[in-house]
Amino acid sequence: NEDLLRTSAERFALSQRAGGIGTFEWLVQENRIIWTPELEQLYGLEPGGFEGKYENWAQRVHPDDRAAAEANLAEAVAGGPPYNIEFRVCWPDGTERWMLAKGDVTFNAQGVAERVIGVNVDVTERHEVANALAQRRQQLEMALDAARMGAWQWDFASRALVSTGGCKVHFGFPPDAELEFTQFTERIETSEQADFLALMRHAIAEAKAYDGEVKVHWPDGSMHFIRVTCQPVRSSDGVPYGLVGVTLDNTETRELLRREQQALAETQQALRLRDEFLSVASHELKTPLTSMLGNAQLLQRRLNRENVNVSPANTKALNVLVSQARRLERMINDLLDITRIAKGRLSIDAQHFDIARLANQVVEEVQPTLYLAHVVVADIRTAPVLIVGDPLRLEQVLQNLIQNAIKYSPNGGRIEVRVEARSGQAHISVSDQGIGIPEAAQPLLFSQFYRASNVRQQQISGMGIGLYVVKEIISMHNGTVSVESREGQGSTFIINLPLSPALVEPA
């Protein structure tokens, strides 16, 4: 029998150690507490290290938990509910552990407590897991709040709905409200409720995710567009037992989209009106201008042919008249091209021709119009330079670049037009010694209606459309146009166009 008792005691002690359990007996009237070695171990003590008094136990309870632990024990000893409480204990080395304490009180015939027999169970791991889960939940809620999202979970069996504050707010409820699933669905637009629930049932039956948007009416009368995404949750045997999902308030996004669409529509309407105005105005201006320029050029030719003695001042005035009329003609043509580009109607009449000869011709035509200290020269390094393109359109490009070089060189200077064949390309450049272009402005230079800041500061007139038209024409010729410039040191505009295929040697 002694062997059986010893074996039983050993098994009991082993089970206590394995389960993190220790037992105690408190002899109340003697103020003596008996701890098992397992309980001493749970309190961080060596076997026999417990002094055996009530106050010795109380001193080992965490100061923040001591009052509650003692009150719970005192209530049980006074005949109240059984001793049952969780508290922290402090080990000699400062380690903190959580204990679950339970005990039964034995009373004598007079109703006075004689002893308390109970257990302490180490539940530290459970608390750590619970704290970790709470921390992760808090982090998840913070992430959802940062993303302006809500999360929810619905259990079919218990009908219990767990949702974050953000989810409740999306449906117009206070973030701390206790709600049922039906309270959410009742806030959905009446005409959408049946479809929403039907799609939910379909998602559950087909084990598919639901992702849709519903109109939600808040108590203040406002309507919100809430995106609801959810996924059925299934048991190991494939039976759905709940839904888990997230919500997102798309109301602000929809409003921003509406405003953007409205602004886009208004902008498109304004552009249509602008293009119509430019087209009408340009055509109305072109007819009288053509007549004026034609007569001025006719007068120039007659004076030159008939050797009429005209004063230098009158000759200069006539040249200025022709020059400014041509400038106005180019501006009108650019305006017309803007409307053609917008409508996709800008076209080219492609043919084989010598771009070097065209450049020489344009430079010669410019000479009579120069009335400031400008010198325009052609530097033809290869002749001929044959390409396939539209001579009229490329003449327009060269005129535009040369006139810009003149305009943006208010103090005069040399303007050089260079043409050469290089690496299968016709390389054309127009260089000046003018005001240059700020580096920050260069990427935007070929944009419609863009003008660099130094141009505005020096009050040089212009509309900011010439280079845009140049870029479009060159692009239609499968070429490129770029600029090299430093502010105050002049500019060079560079065009590369494919040579005529017959002139390109095979690689």
Count how many domains the chain has.
4
Residue that wins the pLDDT comparison between 297 and 457: 297
Say if residue 371 is in the same domain as residue 447: yes
- The first and second tokens of residue 431, run together, are 């260089």
- Decide if pLDDT at 83 tops 50: yes
Nearest to residue 200, comparing CAs of 251, 236, 245?
245
Tokens 């030159």 -> residue? 304
pLDDT at residue 310, as a whole number: 77
In angstroms, how far is CA 363 from the centroid of its own chain? 51
Closest CA to 353 of 392, 304, 314: 392
Task: Name the most confidently modeled range: 18-22, 338-342, 497-501.
Answer: 497-501
Residue 73's H or E segment, with its range, is: helix 63-77
Number of Cβ within a 10 Å radius of residue 245: 22
Q: Which CATH number goes with the domain that contains 365? A: 3.30.565.10
| Residues 333, 335, 337, 343, CA torsion sign | negative
Question: Does 405 lie in the same domain as 312?
Answer: no
Cβ contacts of 391 within 8 Å, gap of 6 or more: 351, 353, 358
492 and 379 in contact (C-beta within 8 Å)? no
331 inside domain: no
Alpha carbon distance 42, 57 (integer Å) = 12
pLDDT exceeds cutoff 90 at 383? no
pLDDT bucket at 507, cuts 50 / 70 / 90 = very low
334 part of a folded domain: no
Distance, CA of 34 to CA of 19 (rounded, Å) = 20
Over the stretch 384-418, which tens digit does the pLDDT of each residue have? 999 999 999 999 999 999 999 998 888 889 999 99
**For residues 334-352, average pLDDT:** 83
Same domain, 368 and 220: no
CA gap 50, 104 in Å, rounded: 21
HSE-CB for 78 with a 13 A CA cutoff? 7
pLDDT of 91-118, one tens digit each? 999 999 999 999 999 999 999 999 999 9
Q: Do 147 and 163 reside in the same domain of the chain? A: yes
- Final residue in a domain of this structure, among 219, 249, 279: 249
Using the structure block, give the residue that is written with the tokens 């507490």. 33
Between the two ends of the chain, the Cα-to-Cα distance in Å is 108
Residue 436 structure tokens:
């240059």
Look-up of token digits 């008249």: 321
Contacts of residue 164, Cβ cutoff 8 Å, sequence gap at least 6: 141, 144, 150, 151, 152
* Domain termination site, one of 122, 157, 182: 122
Percent of the chain with pLDDT over 70: 91
Query: Is there a domain that residue 148 lies in?
Result: yes
* Residue type at 288 in one-letter notation: P
**Which residues, listed in sequence order, are joined to residue 206 by a DSSP beta bridge?**
none
pLDDT value at 459 more than 70 = no
CATH code for position 237: 3.30.450.20
Distance, in Å, from the CA atom of 417 to the CA atom of 428, rounded to the nearest integer, reads: 7
Are residue 194 and residue 314 in the same domain, yes or no?
Answer: no
Q: What percent of the chain has pLDDT over 90?
A: 48
31 phi, psi to nearest 5 deg: 50, 50
Strand 413-422 versus strand 374-380 pairing type: parallel
- In three-state secondary structure terms, 447 is coil
pLDDT of 205 > 50? The answer is yes
| Residue 338 located in a structural domain | no
| Residue 380 Cα distances to 363, 403, 496, angstroms | 11, 19, 15
Contacts of 483 (CB under 8 A, 6+ apart): 437, 442, 445, 491, 492, 493, 494
Same domain? For 266 and 215 the reply is no
Domain-embedded: residue 341: no
Among 345, 296, 351, 348, which residue's Cα sits nearest to residue 322?
Answer: 296
What φ, ψ does residue 368 adopt, rounded to 5°?
-65, -20
* Domain encompassing residue 290: 256-325
What are the tens digits of pLDDT across the range 418-453? 999 999 999 999 999 999 999 999 999 999 888 888
What pLDDT, on a 0 to 100 scale, did the predictor assign at position 503? 57
Residue ranges in 436-483 assigned as alpha helix (H):
453-457, 466-476
Out of 15-29, 128-142, 166-180, 278-292, the most confident range is 166-180
Who has greater pLDDT, 276 or 14? 276
Give this prediction's pTM: 0.47
Beta partners for residue 61, in sequence order: 89
* 107 plus 159 within the same structural domain: no
Q: Can you tell me which residue has the tokens 């344009």? A: 362
Flag whether pLDDT at 465 surpasses 90. Answer: no
Domain-embedded: residue 358: yes
For 272, other C-beta atoms within 10 Å of its C-beta total: 11
Least confident of 157-161, 300-304, 474-478, 484-488: 300-304
Higher-confidence residue of 284 and 504: namely 284
Give which of 382, 431, 429, 387 is closest to 409, Cα–Cα: 431
**C-alpha 490 chain-centroid distance:** 40
* Residue type, position 504, single letter: V
H-helix or E-strand spanning residue 379:
strand 374-380
Verify that 224 and 271 share a domain, yes or no. Answer: no
Mean pLDDT score of the chain, rounded to an integer? Answer: 86
- Cβ-based neighbour number of residue 489 at 10 Å: 11
Q: Looking at 249, 273, 292, which one is the last position of a domain?
A: 249
Residue 342 falls inside a structural domain: no
295 and 208 fall within a common domain: no
Query: Are 221 and 351 part of one and the same domain?
Result: no
In this structure, the answer to whether residues 244 and 273 fall within a common structural domain is no
252: confidence class by pLDDT, cuts 50, 70, 90: confident
Q: What confidence score (pLDDT) does residue 66 get?
A: 96
The pLDDT of residue 273 is above 80:
no
Average the pLDDT over 84-91 and give the result: 96
Q: Is residue 105 part of a domain?
A: yes
CA 9, 13, 19, 21 torsion-angle sign: positive
Shared-domain flag, residues 179 and 310: no
